[in-house]
Chains A and B, each alone.
Chain A
Amino acid sequence: MKWLKNMIEVWTYAMKNTLFDEGVVVFFVIVPLLYPLLYAYLYNNENVREVPTVVVDNSHSQLSREFTRRVDATADVEIVSHCQDMEEAKKMIHHRDAYCLIYIPKDFAKDVAEHRQTVVELYSDMSGILYYKAVYSSCTEVSLEMNKEIKAQLIPGATEQQISAFQYPIEYKYVPMFNTQSGFATFLIPAILMMIIQQTMVLGVGMMAGEEREEVRKHIASPYVIGKKPIEMLIGRSTVIFTIYAVISVYLVCIVPYLFDLVHIWHWQTLLAFMVPFITSCVFFSIALSSIAHDRESFIIMFVFISIPLLFASGISWPSSNIPIFWKGFSWLFPSTFGINGFVRITEMGATLADVQHELNVLWIQTIVYFIISYIVYKRTYGKQLWA
């Protein structure tokens, strides 16, 4: 049972080293605790509401005023000004006092009265796609409603049902599933949570490995390393990281979504069965990657920026069906790609383990591959000289 004793010794020392290293604690504990709160606070409003919009109403009719009033009453658009002409309206947009413009033509009311189709033009500043969506959907909504009323006047004496059937011989209904408000926080935060697990782990582990390498160069070695086999070192240390992240993950996947009222319809058994391979693959991925850490800080400046490409490579934003094959292959190297997709589907879409089988399989494969790489690295580092 010497190996067990050795491993426990490694575990105890490594745990102590980790928790007393303020630089590592920043990445293992403080960033995972605070970062999700910051993001959730940032996106707390979920949607863009009351986009400032200007109106150029050349019709000056009761009907055009009614249209404007109803658009103003929607949640997404706020009419901030009525402008005399397009020049004045453009000026307001250029000064960022408004982002959208509604142009109602001179013959608006006349056309409707004389049974001609009339066109309202909408313009949106493209510094944000959400402005476009807000003004387009709100105005379309209002126009559909008013069209129905105009139709009612065309068929005098018709019942509500008849008018509706005339307007829409086939009625349609839209059901946004899982993220029912199409909210931004609900869309992005689960992905960010998984990214935080992987990236903080990579940085913390890289920092420790870099420091050890600095010490080796100065011929300092921690005494507990001596007399331990590489495999004992590897299992002892990886268990430390796993233990810490098991605790952190409970906070990230259970408490954060609860605090900010994000969708979380998982079953705990499913979530557990998924998070274990995700965290394990992250642990060995980090250890394998840390073999290239030259000094304590190099990982911070080498691997922080990569979080941003990795978030996009996961397919959470730009759809994975449309990611070029080369970058898709690149994304398969990282546990985050599968962690994000599996977690989003489990927590928001109620997927079962069978539904995320593909992600689960890859995470286990990554675990095995990165374990082997880590073992080779450890064997080279702690092989001959230290196993006395």
Chain B
Amino acid sequence: MNGLQQIAAIAKREQKRMLQRGIYTFCMVIAPVVAFLFFTTLMGEGLPAELPAGVVDEDNTSTTREVIRNLDAFQQTNIIEHYPDVAAARKAMQRGKIYAFYYIPKGTTQLAISGKQPTVSFYTAASYLIPASLEYRDMKMMSEYASGAVGRATLYAKGYTEDQAMAVLQPIKMEMHAVNNPSLNYSVYLCNTILPGIIMLLIMQVSIYSIYVELKEETSKEWLAMADNDIVKALLGKLLPQIVTWSLMGLFCLSLLYGVWHFPLNSGIWPMVLNMFLLINASLALGVFFCGALPSLRWALSLATLWGVLSFPISGFSFPQMSFPAPLRGLSWLFPLRHYFLIYVDQALNGLPLYYSWLNIAIQIAFWALPVLVLGRLKKFLLEYHYTH
């Protein structure tokens, strides 16, 4: 048999093993598919709307009632209850019923009319960061609007036109542009990295497990013998069915993100196909590296788990990496998901030419140098180690 035939024979053996054991079907197909559907449908709204909020209206005049009606009409805010006082609203917050409440003290309308500048306030339960910040935005806008309405009325009475009034009330105005994600879609912002991250985590674990199980069932010698004890051929044969399966899962993930949910894809699909393929291979490389680098495959599995879970925060898609302590910023170069995220930002999100991403692409490829360093050790391990436990 020549080398290619040997690899094909090992791949066939691996394919059979994968189909025989439910754990492969679960981890390579069921788990990722369910996770993909979970995240994309969970955040299907994009930006959460109609978040529960409360009101404490001690003034209760037609003006304050209108303010509250207007607030309720904002997209993110849904006034679910009126509370008699701040203490009751605070209690509702502690019970998890509302994320924020708006407080209008007694006499507000009267003071505003007589130019005595009353103060209204709004409170958010900032422990729930996302709903709190969205309701904060609505309540702040409402407050500005209410104040402006009174100011405009005063100026109109003095004969100002609308433009003149706005120039007096707000001489400098800010206009915000969220480039390439104008609706601030949270799903775009999170799913684009979480979904490939799940693939990455499972790839590392499954690849290590698939090598580990040979030792445990004392079949590693048989496996290597099929490749004439050539570790490279043995690994290629073993990983080939995994690469094929993961590539299909990767394509499914991309078609879900960009085909079904129409997330921004300013680069066209091919750079993202490349990105996904690089992530899959870098994750496999890291998995094999952990197998050879550590004294026991059980430790390799533990380290891969740690590495995989840590990939999510350290890739910086939610809490930006610039705010990490410097040692962790440096460490993040060793995480394939970090490079995937950066390539995604350049390509799908911002539509830059591919050469902008060359460094990250090069590093993803360089991950394949890692297993080469430990091939000898890994071979020795597979031929001589006896599983105990």
Name A's B-contacting residues (CB within 8 A): 23, 26, 31, 38-39, 41-45, 47-49, 51-52, 67, 94-95, 111-112, 115-133, 136, 139-140, 143, 146-147, 150-151, 154, 161, 164-180, 182, 184, 186-187, 190, 211, 263, 294-298, 300-302, 304-309, 312-313, 315-319, 321-324, 327, 341, 344-345, 348-352, 355-356, 358
In contact, B132 and A117 (Cβ under 8 angstroms): no
In contact, A350 and B94 (Cβ under 8 angstroms): yes
**Bound state CA distance, A69 and B96, in angstroms?**
42
**Bound state CA distance, A171 and B116, in angstroms?**
10
Instruction: Name A317's closest neighbour in chain B (CB-CB).
Output: B130
Q: Which of B94, B313, B316 contacts A128 (CB 8 A)?
A: B316
In contact, A169 and B154 (Cβ under 8 angstroms): yes
Query: In angstroms, how far is the closest chain A Cβ from the Cβ of B330?
Result: 13
Residues of A within 8 A of B38 (CB): 309, 312-313, 327
Q: Is B136 an interface residue (CB 8 A)?
A: yes
In contact, A302 and B168 (Cβ under 8 angstroms): no
Query: In angstroms, how far is the closest chain B Cβ from the Cβ of A131?
Result: 7
Interface-forming stretch among B223-231, B236-244, B273-281, B301-309?
A: B301-309
**Bound state CA distance, A178 and B325, in angstroms?**
25
In contact, A349 and B172 (Cβ under 8 angstroms): no
**Bound state CA distance, A164 and B115, in angstroms?**
10
Q: Is B75 an interface residue (CB 8 A)?
A: no
In contact, A170 and B179 (Cβ under 8 angstroms): no
Q: Which of A38, A127, A132, A170 contacts B117 (CB 8 A)?
A: A170
Q: Which of A132, A140, A170, A302 contacts B150 (CB 8 A)?
A: A170
In contact, A170 and B120 (Cβ under 8 angstroms): yes
In contact, B173 and A309 (Cβ under 8 angstroms): no
In contact, A180 and B126 (Cβ under 8 angstroms): yes
Q: Is B159 an interface residue (CB 8 A)?
A: no
Chain A to chain B: the 3 pairs with minimum beta-carbon distance, closest first: A169-B150, A172-B143, A179-B126
Residues of B within 8 A of A187 (CB): 126-129
With A49-B323, A125-B179, A304-B305 already in contact, the answer to whether A321 and B52 are too (CB < 8 A) is yes
**Bound state CA distance, A43 and B328, in angstroms?**
11
**Bound state CA distance, A309 and B43, in angstroms?**
12
With A94-B352, A130-B320, A305-B202 already in contact, the answer to whether A172 and B305 are too (CB < 8 A) is no
**Binary A-proximity of B200-214 (CB < 8 A = 1, otherwise 0):** 011001100100110
**Bound state CA distance, A161 and B117, in angstroms?**
9
Instruction: Name B21's closest neighbour in chain A (CB-CB).
Output: A294
Residues of A within 8 A of B255 (CB): none
10 more contacts with CB within 8 A, not counting A300-B301, A321-B50, are: A42-B313, A115-B168, A121-B175, A128-B189, A174-B124, A304-B205, A313-B38, A315-B128, A321-B51, A324-B42
Residues of A within 8 A of B293 (CB): none
In contact, A118 and B171 (Cβ under 8 angstroms): yes
Instruction: Name B143's closest neighbour in chain A (CB-CB).
Output: A172
Name B's A-contacting residues (CB within 8 A): 22-23, 26-27, 31, 35, 38-39, 41-45, 48-52, 90-91, 93-96, 99, 108, 112, 115-133, 136, 139-140, 143-144, 146-147, 150-151, 154, 163-164, 166-181, 184, 186, 188-189, 194, 197-198, 201-202, 205-206, 209, 212-213, 216, 298, 301-302, 305-306, 308-310, 312-314, 316-320, 322-325, 328, 341, 345-346, 349-350, 352, 356, 389
Could you list some 16 contacts between A and B, CB below 8 A?
A42-B325, A112-B172, A122-B175, A126-B180, A130-B320, A132-B178, A151-B171, A172-B120, A175-B123, A176-B132, A187-B127, A296-B389, A309-B35, A313-B42, A318-B48, A321-B51
**Bound state CA distance, A125 and B42, in angstroms?**
25
In contact, A116 and B316 (Cβ under 8 angstroms): no
Q: Which of B202, B309, B325 contacts A41 (CB 8 A)?
A: B325
Query: In angstroms, how far is the closest chain A Cβ from the Cβ of B261?
Result: 15
Instruction: Name B197's closest neighbour in chain A (CB-CB).
Output: A308
Residues of A within 8 A of B120 (CB): 170-173
Q: Which of A31, A120, A327 contacts B175 (CB 8 A)?
A: A120
**Bound state CA distance, A52 and B322, in angstroms?**
10
Instruction: Name B27's closest neighbour in chain A (CB-CB).
Output: A301
**Bound state CA distance, A139 and B189, in angstroms?**
23
Q: Which of B31, B112, B175, B205 contacts A119 (CB 8 A)?
A: B175
**Bound state CA distance, A112 and B167, in angstroms?**
8
In contact, A179 and B171 (Cβ under 8 angstroms): no
In contact, A323 and B42 (Cβ under 8 angstroms): yes
Residues of A within 8 A of B389 (CB): 211, 296
**Bound state CA distance, A42 and B184, in angstroms?**
25
Residues of B within 8 A of A119 (CB): 173-175
Q: Which of A51, A174, A186, A307 contacts B127 (CB 8 A)?
A: A186
**Bound state CA distance, A48 and B328, in angstroms?**
15
**Bound state CA distance, A317 and B312, in angstroms?**
15
Residues of B within 8 A of A133 (CB): 133
In contact, B170 and A176 (Cβ under 8 angstroms): no
In contact, B177 and A121 (Cβ under 8 angstroms): yes
Residues of A within 8 A of B164 (CB): 115
In contact, A174 and B319 (Cβ under 8 angstroms): no
Query: In angstroms, how far is the closest chain A Cβ from the Cβ of B264?
Result: 9
With A122-B177, A169-B112 already in contact, the answer to whether A308 and B194 are too (CB < 8 A) is yes
In contact, A304 and B189 (Cβ under 8 angstroms): no
Instruction: Name A185's closest neighbour in chain B (CB-CB).
Output: B319
Q: Which of A129, A167, A312, A345 contacts B42 (CB 8 A)?
A: A312
In contact, A304 and B309 (Cβ under 8 angstroms): yes
Q: Which of B112, B122, B212 contacts A175 (CB 8 A)?
A: B122
Residues of B within 8 A of A146 (CB): 171-172
Residues of B within 8 A of A177 (CB): 90, 93, 123-126
In contact, A122 and B176 (Cβ under 8 angstroms): yes
In contact, B108 and A165 (Cβ under 8 angstroms): no
Residues of A within 8 A of B44 (CB): 324
In contact, B126 and A165 (Cβ under 8 angstroms): no
Residues of A within 8 A of B39 (CB): 309, 312
In contact, B169 and A167 (Cβ under 8 angstroms): yes
In contact, B198 and A305 (Cβ under 8 angstroms): yes
Residues of B within 8 A of A116 (CB): 163, 167
